[in-house]
Amino acid sequence: MAEVSLHSLNKYFDTTHVVKNVDLQIRDKEFMVFVGPSGCGKTTTLRMIAGLEAISSGEIRIDNTVVNAVPPMDRDIAMVFQNYALYPHMSVASNMAFGLKMRKFEKAEIERRIKRAADILGIENLLDRKPRQLSGGQRQRVALGRAIVRDPKVFLFDEPLSNLDAKLRVQMRVELKKLHERLAVTSVYVTHDQVEAMTLGDRVVVMKDGIVQQVGEPLELYNRPANRFVAGFIGSPAMNFADVTLADGNGRVTAEAQGLKISLPDALASRARSKAGRKATLGIRPEDIRVANPGDSADHCFEAEVEVVEQLGSEILLDTRVGPALMAASIDPESKVRAHDKLRLVLNPARLHLFDAETEAAI
């Protein structure tokens, strides 16, 4: 039962400002994911919550208590590290018992909790082994077990899956999700992988250069990115961007570039009208582009030359050239398309995004 709140949080390493004025409320039982490119300040923020880094300015509250000056041992949190940080000289059981021993739990209680955690994670038969006798996935489970037995107020995860191979990573991702549903403990999870962020998070914080770009539920970030960075970072394959000029004529607002003239839908048009004549960035996801039918309105169609065809089975990914711009499109796998074909494509106007050319904020 714990909320975590960050208030005007700042961190300087010497003179480098790595975390800038972060304000955030993490709700009780929420699974909050921090995502962003490396060096964006997400891990530093997590380490400040853990108490491993001093706070330069601002305030962190756990369960409504200011913990700025509380050492990590007294914060009642548990953390899973990227390299697992299993104590190499202790057996799996002792690894899990360590935190409880430090807190002077009774022996019977320690055993009960280890048994429960081992049961949840399916590692009962590993309890007597040393960490070096375990595979990567097993180590990962032990690291999780060590956190679970503590029954802490908050779980912290620092890129826990990034040392696993691709297949195991997907499997552990699912297990983490189940585990959170079962234990329902407030969790903060740091990753650079947007797929992990989208699949695991109740809400996701996107960070860049120490600044929070957007906080929201995964679908919200996908559908309504607050700026060009979030739009490009969330979603795979990444959103297409084209530099366009906005024009207002005949009662319609259009976004124009060489080889491209798209009418904006009404809602977007009304917001963009005041910027007519100015530059902007048009964004459209590959999955919102398809091959045009004869009946499609010319307002949302454009001509494209196919450069590369990637057959993925479930879809075809096209890399196309539209005037000077590159545009990826995800189309029906049954389509007969070859490189150097000239195609007429249509985009879904309801899914258009428009970003200010200077501030990069969504219009």
Check residue 278 and report its DSSP letter.
S
Residue 153 binds other proteins (CB under 8 A): no
SS (H, E, C) 194-261: HHHHHHHCCEEEEEECCEEEEEECHHHHHHCCCEHHHHHHCCCCCCEEEEEEEEEECCEEEEEECCEE
Per CB under 8 A, contacts with other proteins among 8-37 are none
* Residue 271 Cβ vs other proteins, minimum distance, rounded to whole Å: 46
Residue 50 binds other proteins (CB under 8 A): yes
* Residue 47 Cβ vs other proteins, minimum distance, rounded to whole Å: 8
**The two three-digit tokens of residue 153, written as one number:** 């107020």
Triad 314, 241, 220: Cα angle to 5°: 70
Helix (H) and strand (E) counts for the chain? 9, 20
Q: Which of 99, 216, 218, 286 binds other proteins (CB under 8 A)?
A: 99
Question: Which residues is 2 bridged to in the sheet?
Answer: none
Residue 98 binds other proteins (CB under 8 A): yes
Kindly tell me which of 51 and 283 has the beta carbon lying closer to other proteins: 51
φ, ψ of residue 113 in degrees (nearest 5): -70, -40
* Spatial separation of the C-alpha atoms in residues 65 and 1, rounded to whole Å: 13
Per CB under 8 A, contacts with other proteins among 63-92 are 71-75, 77-79, 81-83, 85, 87-89
* Residue 253 Cβ vs other proteins, minimum distance, rounded to whole Å: 53
Q: Quick count: other Cβ atoms within 10 Å of Cβ 134? A: 18
Kindly tell me which of 150 and 203 has the beta carbon lying closer to other proteins: 150
Residue 346 binds other proteins (CB under 8 A): no
Q: Which helix (H) or strand (E) holds 158?
A: strand 154-158
Residue 311 binds other proteins (CB under 8 A): no
Q: ω before 265 within 30° of 0 (cis)?
A: no
Kindly tell me which of 72 and 323 has the beta carbon lying closer to other proteins: 72
* Residue 55 Cβ vs other proteins, minimum distance, rounded to whole Å: 14
Q: Which of 146, 192, 208, 228 binds other proteins (CB under 8 A)?
A: 146
Site string for other proteins, 102-121 (x = CB under 8 A): xx------------------
* Residue 135 Cβ vs other proteins, minimum distance, rounded to whole Å: 19
Q: At a CB cut-off of 8 Å and minimum separation 6, what does 125 contact?
A: none
Kindly tell me which of 132 and 167 has the beta carbon lying closer to other proteins: 132
Interface residue list for other proteins (CB under 8 A)? 50-52, 71-75, 77-79, 81-83, 85, 87-89, 98-99, 102-103, 146, 150, 156
